[in-house]
A = this chain, B = another copy of it.
């Protein structure tokens, strides 16, 4: 009885807490790891976070969205950076610079969460396909930003796809068990390697 009161009190206290979204995400990640993504319900996520289902749905459309919530901010960041990049910077270099900044400010400090997320995605084909779809949309948005800067097609789309390729390869190395460098270094290496590869005709 005392426990129930404490839990009820705790719930009331946290309902309006600004950290609710983050706590729901953390609870979801825990549960996806413990019992698998398929076997986890929104009710369980809310319970683990000490919040209500209603609160969950104020922040996320469904349990899948928890894993992709960061994508739109990520896309907006890249589009903004590519749009603002100095005109003398080559398109692929402008994208690489934006990715490196993103790596240092966002990915590097949350490697553990990112790796855990990758493991959840690896276990579920539908989630992996969703991820690919989000990345394809991201490449389209970046290509649009390049066109707005006066880069014509097919250069804009090719640069965006090349930027995505650089990121994918760098990201895979960084999230692998043998990773020893920060993500920014892997991005730099991938960009340099692609330039070398393309020069060899």
> Which residues does A use to contact B, with CB under 8 Å?
90-93, 125, 128-130, 132-133, 136, 153-155, 157-159, 161-162, 164-166, 168-170, 172-173, 186, 189-190, 193-201
Contact A197 B132 (CB under 8 A): no
Q: For A93, list chain B residues within 8 Å (CB).
A: 200-201
How close is A62's CB to chain B, nearest CB, in angstroms? Answer: 15
Instruction: Give complex CA distance A91, B197 in Å.
Output: 7
B200 near A90 (CB under 8 angstroms)?
A: yes
Q: Is the CB of A158 within 8 A of B154?
A: no
Contacts of A198 in B (CB 8 A): 92, 162, 194-195, 197-199
- Whether A165 contacts B161 by the Cβ 8 Å rule is yes
- Residue of B91, B155, B189, B194 near A162 (CB, 8 A) is B194
A157 / chain B contacts, CB cutoff of 8 Å: 168-169, 172
Q: If the complex has contacts A128-B133, A132-B129, A133-B129, are A197 and B161 also in contact, measured as CB distance less than 8 A?
A: no
From B129, B162, B186, contact of A165 by CB (8 A): B162
Instruction: Say yes or no: A195 contacts B189, CB within 8 Å.
Output: no
Residue numbers in B under 8 Å from A200 (CB-CB):
90-93
Docked-complex contact B197 and A92, CB < 8 angstroms? yes
B169 and A161 within 8 A (CB): yes
A132 CB contacts on chain B under 8 angstroms: 129, 132-133, 136
Residues from chain B with Cβ under 8 Å of A196 in the complex? 155
- A195 close to B190 (CB less than 8 A): no
Q: How far is the CB of A122 from chain B (nearest CB, A)?
A: 13
In the complex, the chain B residue whose C-beta lies closest to that of A151 is B197
Q: Name which residue of chain B comes closest to A125, CB basis.
A: B133
Are A190 and B136 in touch, CB under 8 angstroms?
A: no
Do B158 and A166 have beta carbons less than 8 Å apart?
Answer: yes
Asked whether, in the complex, the Cβ of B90 is within 8 Å of the Cβ of A154, the reply is no
Cβ contact of A158, chosen from B91, B92, B136, B169, cutoff 8 A: B169
A185 to B20, CA, bound (A): 54
